[in-house]
Amino acid sequence: MKRNLILAVILIAMTVAVFVATTQLNAASSSNPELNEAIASSTRPEALQKLLKQTDKKYRDELAYLLIHMPKADRDTMSLDLLVENVRLAHQVRKQYPWAQALPEEVYLTDVLPYYVVDEVRDAWREELYELFAPAVDTCSTLEEAIRAVNSNIPALTGVHYNTLREKTNQSPRESMRQGMASCTGLSILLVDAYRAVGIPARFVGTASWHDNRGNHSWTEVWLDGQWRVTEYYFPSQLDHLWFMADASKANPADRRYAIYATRFGEASDWFPMVWCGEDSTAIENLPKHIGAENVTQHYIDLARNQQATRIEAGTHTYLRIVGYAKQEATHHSADRVAMGVDIFLGTEQMGGGLTAGPHRDMNDNFSLLLPKNATYELRYYDTAGNLKTQAVTLGEEPMTVAIYQE
């Protein structure tokens, strides 16, 4: 009898303790209906409630923000240990670096705290990238210095380089570092996460297709002095001055396939068209829509055109026009022309790229690029056999037209 009484008392005490803890947690979350709704919509609400209860109070607000805004698939299946680790490490970095401490709360929540960029595998990248890049930024006193330190060192520190032989398009940081290669999407994911690992706000930007249907492209933006600035994996000589700005000036904000989007964690006005999720024939409106984004096309159009006008006014640049032909002996008629992809380099820095006009375009309609005067450039393109061809071109003071040949 006495033993049964003791067991009953213990059972009652345990029930009361669970009830009190649950009541306290419910009281804490009752003021946040968005959080309640997010947890209730999950296939594991009890586990998420338990996670909130067990997480250190100083991390709970950040954890709640992620739970509210993360994709439902992640809320249902993502490793909860990984989620909490991400919050803990982001919180610590914010306390460590002066540029992170100075961030507006919204910028920190949307562009430093998130554990993913697009739809890549959710892996534990934050600690690994912090260990790689913390030594590079520890001596930096400003956000701009830290941006440069990460961006200029990332190929050497990660060992990852551009290569379309990578396993897939949307690689996570660990997948890219394991292979030592990635294409523009994987490189951009890696750069965004490297920035975030040391408290630098960054986001993923891209277009489903350039205006001439050369395919999609992805790059990165960093937040500096209250503005989003343009960069990419291979650090440009100057922020906002990227090789693809001429293409960006021809983007179309009204056409999702040719518009430019920047990812947005949290409440977003639009969605990012992840073309790698479908086949070439997949209608763009049928792509997954769970990654939030903003249409930033007009910003890029204005930026590119302003840069172009400034260069023309300064008299420092002139146009290089490139015409593609099938054969050297046939260059007189529109039917002789072929659409060829060509990239233009000055040393190791890519200055631009595009598609030469095909046989059905006006004879005066040529691919052209505004380039610094009095420099020797290298044109890179492929012949019909798939061999890489190079051609040196010296651009002087006046506009110049050059021909490249497919055979």
Poorest-pLDDT segment among 158-172, 221-235, 281-295: 281-295
pLDDT at 28: 44
Would the pLDDT of 25 be above 50?
no
Which stretches of 283-392 are DSSP H helices? Answer: 297-314
Instruction: Look at residues 82, 64, 160, 81 and name the one whose alpha carbon lies nearest to residue 121.
Output: 82
Check whether 3 has a pLDDT greater than 90.
no
Distance CA 79, CA 70 (A): 13
SS3 percent helix, strand, coil of the chain, rounded to 5, is 45, 20, 35
Given a cut of 50, whether residue 20 has pLDDT beyond it is: no
Section 159-186 average pLDDT = 97
pLDDT of residue 160: 97
Q: What percent of the chain has pLDDT over 70?
A: 92
How far is Cα 332 from Cα 42, in angstroms, rounded to an integer? Answer: 66
Mean pLDDT of 194-201: 98
**pTM of the full structure:** 0.86
Q: Over 50: is that where the pLDDT of 66 sits?
A: yes
Tens of pLDDT along 209-268? 999 898 899 999 999 999 999 999 999 888 999 999 999 999 999 999 999 999 999 999
Residue 2 has what pLDDT? 47
Query: Which residues, including other chains, have CB under 8 Å from residue 119's CB and lie 6 or more apart?
Result: 170, 274, 277, 288, 290, 291
pLDDT value of position 331:
80
**pLDDT beyond 60 at 18:** no
Q: Extract the tokens encoding 55.
A: 């997480």
Spell out the residues 6+ positions from residue 190 whose beta carbon is closer than 8 angstroms to its own.
154, 158, 160, 171, 173, 176, 177, 182, 233
Q: At what angle do helices 57-69 and 45-54 cross, to 10 degrees?
A: 150
Is 374 a residue whose pLDDT tops 80?
A: yes
- Supply the pLDDT for residue 248: 95
pLDDT at position 35 over 50: yes
- CB distance 298 to 249 below 8 Å: no
Q: What is the mean pLDDT of the chain?
A: 91
What was the pLDDT predicted at 361?
80
Question: What percent of the chain is predicted at pLDDT more than 90?
Answer: 82
Summarised one tens digit per residue, pLDDT across range 67-76 is 999 999 999 9
Kindly state which CATH superfamily the domain 317-405 is placed in.
Answer: Immunoglobulins (2.60.40.10)
pLDDT band at 362 (very low <50, low <70, confident <90, very high): confident
Give first-to-last CA distance, the chain, whole Å: 99
For 172-182, write each residue's pLDDT tens digit.
Answer: 999 999 999 99
Parse the chain into domains and list their residue ranges.
99-306, 317-405
Q: What is the C-alpha separation between 125 and 143, in angstroms, rounded? A: 22
Judged against a pLDDT cut of 80, whether residue 1 lies above it is answered with: no
Predicted local distance difference test score (pLDDT) of residue 214: 87
Shortest CA distance to 89 belongs to which of 192, 179, 10, 199?
199
Q: Are strands 375-382 and 388-395 parallel, antiparallel or unpaired?
A: antiparallel
| pLDDT score, position 19 | 40
Confidence band for 280, pLDDT divided at 50, 70 and 90: confident
For the record, the structure tokens of 268 come out as 């977003």
Lowest mean pLDDT among 122-126, 185-189, 282-286, 360-364: 360-364
- Residue in the structure block whose two tokens are 């989007």: 261
Q: Which ranges in 159-226 belong to alpha helices (H)?
A: 173-179, 184-197
Task: Look at residue 300 in the predicted model and tell me its pLDDT.
Answer: 98
Gap between the Cα atoms of 191 and 150, Å rounded: 8
- Compute the residue count for the chain: 407
Domain boundaries 99-306, CATH class: alpha beta
pLDDT at 161 > cutoff 90: yes
pLDDT band at 150 (very low <50, low <70, confident <90, very high): very high
| pLDDT score for 278 | 85
Per-residue pLDDT, 27: 38
